[in-house]
Every structure is written in C-alpha cells, then in structure tokens.
Chain A
Amino acid sequence: MIRFEKVTKYYKNNVGLENVSVHINKGDFVFLVGPSGAGKSTFIKLILKEIEADSGSILVNEKEVTSLSNRQIPILRRSIGIVFQDFRLLPKKTVFENVAFAMEIIHKSPRTIRRQVPQILSLVGIANKASKYPDELSAGEQQRVAIARAIVNNPTVLIADEPTGNLDPDTAWEIMKLLEQINLRGTTIVMVTHAKDIVDRMNKRVIVIDKGKIVRDNVGAYGIDVFETPSCQPEGGVFSQDVK
C-alpha cells in the first residue's frame, strides 16, 4: 500500500528523512508520532508528492511516486484523502457543497453527486446538517464534514493530520471512532498526532520518527520516552504551510 525504501530527503539546513524504510499495509491504522521537525511532515509530503525525495523509492498503491510526472500527481492524490487539524472547509459553501466540491473536481456527474453526498454525510453522522454553513457547526461537526470530503471519492489511504488537535476530548474520541469505522471499511489510515491518550487508547501501530529516522515501529502505546521530549509539544499540524 505505502512502501518507503531507503528514502532520504535533505533540506538546505536540516534533515527531512534519512534512509527511511517502512511498509504500511492495506487496511492498516497507523499513528505517526514524533517531536516537531522530526520528519513527519516530510513523510506525508513525500506520499502526496508535494516534495521530491533525494533518493530511495516510494510506492503508493503499487505505483512509484518518485517517478510520477506533474500530470500524474492529481491522479495519485485522488487515491489519498486528507483531513487537517483546522478542517479547511470552504466558508461560503454549505456542508453539502463542501463535500460535492471534491466530487466535482474529478468530474462526477451531478446525479452521482446528489446520490452519494447524502450517503457519505449520513455515514459520518451529519446527514441533517447538509444545508448548514461551516460557521453554523461545532468543531466536531466541522471535522466530520472534512472527513466526509476526504472519503467521498473512496480513497485507498486517508491521511489525518492532527485531526483531533482542535477538539475537546469527548469529541476527539468520537472522531477517532469514526476514523476507526472508516478503517474497518478497508481504508488505510495514517494519522499524525501528539495526543498520547488517544494513541494509548486506540492501541494501534505506532511509528515514531525522530531526527529524520524511524526510532520505533510497533503496536502499542505512544511511548513515554517520546512524549516527554521537551520539543514534542502539540504543534500546528504537519501542514502548517499550504501546498504550493
């Protein structure tokens, strides 16, 4: 599903990733944790081909990402859903339109859109909010809309970048249950997070990245050693900068 083989990415003054090899299987639910600047952002950006690796091979859905032409990038991204900490809904569009927007982009017919959007809204539990605008919704509801938008085109991978960062614990847990539900449908989930309690409670695979290297990769808790690192404070999510 996602396979990194000896991937290295250097920036001008620091290391992004260094000789990283990792394999995420279809249907996996993986937490990506680590201090700020550890390389989580680089990891995600490489999957989406926002940046180029200096060396190594990256396979997503059996396709070599590093050799994709600019024209093929949108096709890659259509197989990957993405959810952000700050939801990134379009404020002037209703819930329905925010989700429909993702389908319009890949030229789905209005009929298909009218049929599928309510289904997906009902799946994420906000079927009754279709005509509302984002600012009329609670944070949890907004994140549900964002998730609906991310999965409406049936991506094989869902990347969640600190999806619970702006939510209270109860709402965060509801969102996690929703993500788990989506995972059970077969969607691979890669979630970047700093929320120790959530990682501990979910008991899924945890990949810890530090200084550009994978320092731990197993199923279990967040790991006290990582969380206590002073630099490891909740941050603005790996996508603090927009895609260029």
Chain B
Amino acid sequence: MSLASIFSISAMLLILGLFFIVAVNINMATEAAKQDYETVQVYLQDEVTFEEAQVLIDSFKRIEGVSETQYLDKETALLQWKAKWGESGYLLDSLGNNPLPNSILITVSQLEAADQVVLKAGKAQGIEDVKYYKETVEKLLKITNFIQIGALIIMVFLIIVAVVVVSNTIKLTVFARSREITMMKYVGATNWFIRGPFLVEGMLIGIFSALISVGIIALTYSKISELIGQDVFIILSTPMVPVSFMTINLISIFLAVGISIGACGSIISMRRFLDT
C-alpha cells in the first residue's frame, strides 16, 4: 500500500524535477543573456589602435546612461573564453592565431542608452561588428516567464494529486487500525498522540519518494549533460547547470515537498476520524 504511494509520489516528483531542470537551465541562460542585454560589445577592426579605441570609448562615455566602458584586448578575451569553457578550455589552444578581435564593452544603466550606443557605433569608423541581443533577450524572457508560470501550475496540480494519493493510502491504514484508534480516544489519547504514527508514516513515504526521484533525476541529468552539455554550451554560450548544484538543490526541495505532501496527506486522512 505504502509502496504504491511511494511510486506515485516518486513519479510525480520526477515530473516536477523535469520541470525544475528545464526551468533552472532556461533561467540560467536568460540570466546570462540579460547581462548581454545591459552590455553592448563593440568589436574593433584589427587596424584600430589602442589610442583610436580610447577616442571611441570617450565618445561612448558621453552618451547619457552609459555607466561603464572597458577595453577588452584580444588576449584577455581569449583567456576569458578559456575560463568559461573550463575543462574543455584546452581546445582553444589549437587555434594558433587568436581569432578574437579587440573590443569595447559598454555597460548601460538605462536601456535607451544601449540603442544610442548601437547607433553611434554603426556610424563610427573601424568598427567590425556590434553584439547586442535586445530582441533575442526579450523573447527569451517571455519564454522563460511562460515556462515558469506553466511549470508552477503543473507543479501545484501534481502536488494536489500526490496529497490525495497519500491521504488515501493512509486512510486505508487508519481504517485497518480503527479499533485501536477508537480505544485510544476512549482512554484519553490526544489527537496528536493518535496522529503521530500516521504522520511519521506519511513523512517517511515522502522521504523515500524524494530520495528515489532525486536519485533517478541526478543519474539521468548527469548522463544528459555528459552527452549534450557541450552542444548546449556551443549553441547558447552558457553551460548547463552543474549536476552537483542540481542534485543538492533537488534533494532539499524534494525532501521539503515530499515531507510536506506526506504530512498533509496523513493529516487530511485523519481529520474526519479525530473530529470529536
């Protein structure tokens, strides 16, 4: 009986975990993109000297709403990429010549300023390209919002289902022990004393379900990130959320959710029994 509950809740938590993983990864990509949103990166042609770049920087600085400007030479840029790629950074060593251009990073405090920076950079001499993802980021933010709300609704629905499953399982146990419970009441047991063992049972169901589902998710996620983590990084230029981070967070969240579901389920199932 309890086994059925454990499987049902594990299944529910697995779906919950799936949403969690997707949501967290999209969130991370969005956060990374958001930084780009506030930053305009202006790539310079190789012929542009440091002094000429300084002149350009000064002109960008004059735009209202620009909070910070930074000259990023190609060597530093390569080092940053290596750092970003982490263990796979050695792959960049085989490039030979550094293909990255020198660039200027302009951080804005007002978003309107970003448009002006882009406009000005478009007119200026010696500019190779301007990296600015306003529309993409806006779209991404919308999608993230949509996914988060959708995930939230589904999660609430799944949690309700799980509470019902647990409360029904415990109700069966309660009926099986109704004689004992009735006697407990006559002898003067408090409701919490009677509820105790059932509450523990519900919570144990929650704990086991949480551990099972986190185990399955952690294994699957580590396999997935092993297989496609690199591709995700190349496509989105942000890495997948690390397995360890995901597992630690999922364990605490699932334990909390599992224990709450178990406890709520058992309290609900006993409510009618302990009315008077």
Contact = CB atoms under 8 A, between A and B. Distances in A.
Interface stretch (B66-74, B183-191, B205-213): B183-191
A77 B193 CA distance: 14
A50 B274 CA distance: 11
B194 to A, nearest CB: 9
B182 A243 contact: yes
Contact of B188 (A90, A105, A149): A105
Contact of B187 (A49, A78, A242): A78
Given A90-B179, A90-B180, A105-B193, A243 B185 contact: yes
B276 interface: yes
A106 interface: yes
> Per DSSP, are chain B's interface residues mostly helix, strand or loop, or mixed?
helix
A88 interface: yes
A102 B186 CA distance: 9
A153 B187 CA distance: 9
B182 A77 contact: no
A106 B188 contact: yes
Interface string A26-69: 00000000000000000000001111000000000000000000
Question: What is the size category of the interface that chain A forms with chain B?
Answer: 20 to 34
B145 interface: no
A79 to B, nearest CB: 8
Contacts of B179: 88, 90
Interface in B50-88: none
Interface centre among B180, B188, B276 (most CB of A within 10 A): B188
B275 A244 contact: yes
A27 B185 CA distance: 25
B178 interface: yes
A101 interface: yes
Interface in B177-236: 178-180, 182-191, 193
B253 to A, nearest CB: 34
B183 A88 contact: yes
A75 B189 CA distance: 8
Interface in A90-141: 90, 101-102, 105-106
13 contacts: A71-B190, A74-B188, A74-B191, A75-B188, A76-B188, A88-B183, A90-B180, A101-B187, A105-B187, A105-B189, A153-B187, A243-B185, A244-B272
Interface of B: 178-180, 182-191, 193, 272-273, 275-276
